[in-house]
Amino acid sequence: MNSNTKRIAGIGILAAIVIVLQIFATFVQFGPFAITLVLVPIVIGAALYGISAGAILGTFFGGVVLIMTISGADPGAHMLWAANPLATALVIMLRGILAGAAAGLAYNLFAPKSKFLGTVCAAIVCPIVNTGLFLLAMYFIFPDFLELWADGATTIYFLLIGLAGINFVIELVINIVLSPTIVRIIGYAKR
């Protein structure tokens, strides 16, 4: 197989994993939003195949989240969809695409020094971009929902602790804990 065929097949397999994991993850919720379990295959794809592959896998992630949002399977996101469908769709898609691309960029920057360092940096950057863009969108695009959901708490406190807190920590820990495994997968795949 030539390298382009291997790349397409690898991205396809990782995209299938992203789709299945995100559908499953829609039903694992802490607070009003589902936890994201798909960042690991996005990081693997970004490290193996580059920034564009990370963005492609992020697009699949965003697409599944968007479908679950529109269908109401993710009730918190569905409320945002009902209020502003265009902004919700843009936020969902952009955060997935940019999280994948940022993981690829982080890997490319640090992997020449150390594959492990590159992987850990990509694994950290991916959930930071994903959650960070979501928090910015909530603060600037959906402030009414933020205030309503905060229920008397300050919006910044609610953003960081209520909305992002548990989900972000779980996503970050999963990525960091699995980093050594990701490094092995990348090493095996590149051989």
Query: Residues 53, 11: contact at Cβ < 8 Å?
Result: yes
pLDDT band at 114 (very low <50, low <70, confident <90, very high): very high
Q: What are the phi and psi torsion angles at 111 (to 5°)?
A: -60, -35
Which of 113, 134, 128 shows the shortest CA–CA distance to 173? 128
Percentage, residues of the chain above pLDDT 90: 58
3-state secondary structure of 182: helix
Average pLDDT over residues 71-100: 94
* Span 24-33, pLDDT tens digits: 887 776 666 6
Task: Check residues 161 and 129 and name the one with the higher pLDDT.
Answer: 129
How many Å is the Cα radius of gyration of the chain? 17
Mean pLDDT across the stretch 124-145? Answer: 92
**Alpha helices, DSSP H, located in 32-111:** 39-49, 51-71, 75-83, 85-110
Q: What is the pLDDT of residues 96-105, one digit of tens each?
A: 999 999 999 9
Evaluate if residue 124 carries a pLDDT over 80: yes
How many C-beta atoms surround the C-beta of residue 163 within 10 A?
Answer: 23
Q: Which fold has domain 3-190?
A: Arp2/3 complex 21 kDa subunit ARPC3 (1.10.1760)
Mean pLDDT of the chain: 89
Task: Please provide the distance, in angstroms rounded to a whole number, between the alpha carbons at the two ends of the chain.
Answer: 14
Are 95 and 42 contacting, i.e. CB atoms less than 8 angstroms apart?
A: no
User: Which pLDDT score, from 0 to 100, does residue 3 have?
Assistant: 86
- Write down the residue that tokens 């609610």 correspond to: 158
Region 122-148: what's the mean pLDDT?
91
SS3 180: helix
What is the rounded distance in angstroms from the CA atom of residue 48 to the CA atom of residue 107?
A: 9
Q: What is the mean pLDDT of residues 161-183?
A: 81
Distance between CA 105 and CA 76 in Å, rounded? Answer: 31
CA angle 32, 82, 74 (to 5 degrees): 35
pLDDT beyond 80 at 5: yes
Residue 170 has pLDDT above 90, yes or no: no
Max Cα distance, the chain (Å)? 59
What integer pLDDT is reported at residue 64 of this predicted model?
A: 96
13: tokens are 């397999």
CA distances from 127 to 50, 60, 83, 150, 175 (A): 17, 16, 26, 23, 8
- Residue 159 predicted with pLDDT over 80: no
Share of the chain above pLDDT 70, in %: 95
Name the pTM for this structure: 0.90
Q: How large is the average pLDDT for residues 57-86?
A: 94
